[in-house]
């Protein structure tokens, strides 16, 4: 059973010929942010990494190499995507974005392209991460290190993505130290599909990795966006799995948000496991809002019978709600 909570606000957003987007908030939403570091412990301590090596590919894109838990070098790609115009005096608020997929990516395009466009309208710097896959030897070494018995079935990026994100946060701190106009007091971590598993892990989700060691959470983001979050049944989540999450979380899903691993209602159940806090759910009750629609991609919506205008309206509803929520919890 999920922890009982009082819902203090709900609204229905309807567009012509579309299903209604049911938006629910939990607990007071007052823009609060955690004061000071999160408590120490497995679910709240960032990963320790070897010193980072950064090789710039161009003005905005870098290959970042660190030593992983197995003692092997791991290289990821991160791309800074600043909005237009001059940076605010305090620096740009920043959203770090992780892609979905089980096999990883070796190129940063088109990671989070739709979300980048939307977030730029609200003046956010976007940092897109390409999380690469592993070859067989690398996977087996990782499994042996963290105590995974069934390595063939282990989704190794469940471990890698949160660690990759921590390294990107480290990198951003180094950029700020060098004078880059980035406001890390307004750091948000978001992701789609499997990327949202990493988002919730960094927020404090535990118990979803079967090995001896759980991937790390991190106290630095002030809020989280989980687009197409994992299903509770899919990850075998229970009342304790999300209990350590004490920062605002937005989940975006709906009736058409189905993959081989999860369906929309199971994803919504994950939201119900959140403890009280400044959390919010956007539920699109329209089957044309497909899994990738929540990554602001229109193709699957069009294949499901939606017109271009209808699919754009669905994507705009998702993006607008996220921007409204971010303005509430993280400042305009």
234-268 pLDDT tens trace: 999 999 999 999 999 999 999 999 998 789 999 99
The per-residue pLDDT for 8 is 23
Asked if pLDDT for residue 270 goes beyond 50, the answer is yes
- Region 300-316: mean pLDDT is 95
- Region 114-129: mean pLDDT is 97
Confidence band of 211 (pLDDT split at 50, 70, 90): confident
pTM of the shown model: 0.87
Q: What ranges make up the beta strands (E) of the chain?
A: 7-14, 20-26, 53-56, 61-67, 73-81, 92-98, 125-130, 182-192, 223-227, 249-254, 279-284
Which tens digits make up the pLDDT trace of 276-288? 999 999 999 999 9
- Region 213-233: mean pLDDT is 95
Asked if pLDDT for residue 27 goes beyond 60, the answer is no
* C-alpha distances in Å from residue 314, one per residue of 117, 215, 231: 15, 34, 22
- Region 304-324: mean pLDDT is 96
Which tens digits make up the pLDDT trace of 178-188? 999 999 999 99
Percent of the chain's residues with pLDDT above 70: 84
Neighbours of 281 (CB within 10 A): 25
The per-residue pLDDT for 34 is 36
Q: What does the alpha-carbon distance between residue 113 and residue 296 come to, in Å, rounded to a whole number? A: 8
Q: What does the alpha-carbon distance between residue 24 and residue 137 come to, in Å, rounded to a whole number? A: 45
Asked if pLDDT for residue 43 goes beyond 50, the answer is no
Q: If you write DSSP's letter for every residue of 93-148 in order, what string do you get?
A: EEEEEE---SS--SS-TTTTHHHHHHHHHTT-EEEEEE-----HHHHHHHHHHHT-
Confidence band of 309 (pLDDT split at 50, 70, 90): very high
CA dihedral 195, 196, 198, 204 (to 10 degrees): 170
Neighbours of 138 (CB within 10 A): 17
- Region 107-134: mean pLDDT is 96
**Structural domains of the chain, ranges and CATH numbers in brackets:** 11-330 (3.40.50.1820)
Q: In what order do the strands lie in the sheet with 73-81?
A: 7-14, 20-26, 279-284, 249-254, 223-227, 182-192, 92-98, 125-130, 73-81, 61-67, 53-56
251: number of CA atoms within 13 Å, CB side? 30
The per-residue pLDDT for 51 is 52
Asked if pLDDT for residue 19 goes beyond 80, the answer is no
Which tens digits make up the pLDDT trace of 62-89? 999 999 999 999 999 999 999 999 999 9
Least confident range of 10-19, 48-57, 135-144, 319-328: 10-19
The per-residue pLDDT for 262 is 86
């Amino acid at each position: 059973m999920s922890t009982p909570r009082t819902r203090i606000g709900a609204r229905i957003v309807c567009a012509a010929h579309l299903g209604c987007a049911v938006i629910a908030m939990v607990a007071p939403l007052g823009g609060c942010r955690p004061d000071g570091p999160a408590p120490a412990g497995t679910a709240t301590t960032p990963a320790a990494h070897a010193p980072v090596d950064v090789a710039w590919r161009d003005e905005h894109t870098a290959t970042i190499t660190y030593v992983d838990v197995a003692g092997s070098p791991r290289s990821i790609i991160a791309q800074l995507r600043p909005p237009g115009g001059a940076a605010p005096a305090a620096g740009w608020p920043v959203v770090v974005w992780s892609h979905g997929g089980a096999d990883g990516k070796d190129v940063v395009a088109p990671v989070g392209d739709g979300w980048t466009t939307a977030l730029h309208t609200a003046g956010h710097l976007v940092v897109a991460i390409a999380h690469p896959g592993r070859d067989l030897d690398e996977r087996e070494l990782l499994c042996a290190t963290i105590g995974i018995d069934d390595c063939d079935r282990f989704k190794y990026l469940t471990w890698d993505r949160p660690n990759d994100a921590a390294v990107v946060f480290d990198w951003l701190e180094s950029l700020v130290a060098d004078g880059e106009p980035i406001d890390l007091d307004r750091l948000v971590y978001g992701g789609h599909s499997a990327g949202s598993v990493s988002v919730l892990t960094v927020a404090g989700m535990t118990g979803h990795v079967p090995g001896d060691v759980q991937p790390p959470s991190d106290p630095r983001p002030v809020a989280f966006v989980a687009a197409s979050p994992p299903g509770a049944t899919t990850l075998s989540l229970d009342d304790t799995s999300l209990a350590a999450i004490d920062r605002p979380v937005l989940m975006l899903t709906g009736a058409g948000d189905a993959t081989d691993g999860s369906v929309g209602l199971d994803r919504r159940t994950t939201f119900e496991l959140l403890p009280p806090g400044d959390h919010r759910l956007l539920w699109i009750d329209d089957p044309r809002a497909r899994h990738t629609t929540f990554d602001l991609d229109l193709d699957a919506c069009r294949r499901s019978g939606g017109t271009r205008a209808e699919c754009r309206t669905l994507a705009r509803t998702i993006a607008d709600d996220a921007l409204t929520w971010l303005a509430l919890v993280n400042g305009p």
